[in-house]
Amino acid sequence: MKEIKIFAPATVANLSCGFDVLGCCLDIIGDQMILRKNNQRKLRILRITGQELALEAKNNVATVAIIAMLEALDSTQGFDIEIDKKIKAGSGIGSSAASSSGAVYAVNKLLGDPFTLKELIPFAMEGERLASGNAHADNVAPALMGGFSLVKSYHPLEVLALPSPPELRLVILHPLIELRTKDSRAVIKQQVQLKDAIAQWGNLAAFVSGLYTNDYKLIGRSLQDKIIEPVRSILIPYFEELKTIALENGALGFGISGSGPSVFAMCKGDTIAASVKEAMHLFYKEKGIDFDLHQSKINTQGIKIL
């Protein structure tokens, strides 16, 4: 294979109870990427549409991830890359993760699958390190593996795939302000109160249990965040009002998507998700804030070849 075209999906990290360790993959929002081998022994980004992003290999998350992968293979193979960015940078739904995961997935295919999907995660994480100063895996893991992912540990890296209850839906509202992950990580306190930690690990464990037993109500009750949400939510216009509206319209739970400013409402079934989406739409429109709004299933496949 000389050329490949892929769909690299958006993802929602943290999911309230799992800061830096939990994420899931969306099915309707994503970038398209074309990668082909070249004989120049160079990584060349020929074109990026949809966003203004760096084209130099050392400054783009896609090529930085590929460099890490080629180094591990001791390979000097060159690649030409075209990216059509549909996920806005700084939106909180894994824009950099889609690029870095998509890039290593495509290169892996073009090289005959030397790595498993799980083995690609550390390379994609190098893109996250470039984008945010921190190599977290909670977006790149679900982008590569689909469904829900849990980062059991970072040192050593151990990532688990979790089941996706079939009726789960996510409504994603993106207020059109840019919030860089680097900045929204800077506001987080480095110390945690024991009582908050107890609440958080109880919720994370219960959330995982809910995924395994299709217990939608338990999933909803577990979408709580005592640690990160209180400090980050003040950066998101009308966060508390949106949460109240989502829950009053039947959402199971509501929280910040990744590092924001996008927020998510998790719902059971398309009908409830549609009414939550409609209510959030009306509220934000009335406030005069520009936004994007999506309703998505859980994408259990992850990156797709087009």
Catalytic residues: 128, 181
Pick the closer one to ligand HSE by CB: 210 or 258: 258
Comparing every residue's Cβ against ligand HSE, the nearest one is 258
Q: Where do contacts with ligand HSE occur on this chain (CB under 6 A)?
A: 13-14, 19-20, 136, 138-139, 181, 185, 258-259
Pick the closer one to ligand HSE by CB: 243 or 268: 243
In whole angstroms, how close is the CB of 98 to ligand HSE at the nearest point? Answer: 11
Query: Cα–Cα–Cα angle for 302, 88, 56, nearest 5°?
Result: 90
In whole angstroms, how close is the CB of 109 to ligand HSE at the nearest point? Answer: 25
In whole angstroms, how close is the CB of 205 to ligand HSE at the nearest point? Answer: 18
Q: Cα separation of 98 and 274, whole Å?
A: 26
Pick the closer one to ligand HSE by CB: 27 or 138: 138
Name beta bridge partners: 34: 5, 82
Pick the closer one to ligand HSE by CB: 35 or 173: 173
Give Cβ neighbours of residue 123 (< 8 Å, ≥ 6 apart). Answer: 65, 66, 68, 69, 72, 100, 104, 115
* Closest of 30, 99, 32 to residue 66, by C-alpha: 99
In whole angstroms, how close is the CB of 139 to ligand HSE at the nearest point? Answer: 5
Strands 253-256 and 148-154: unpaired
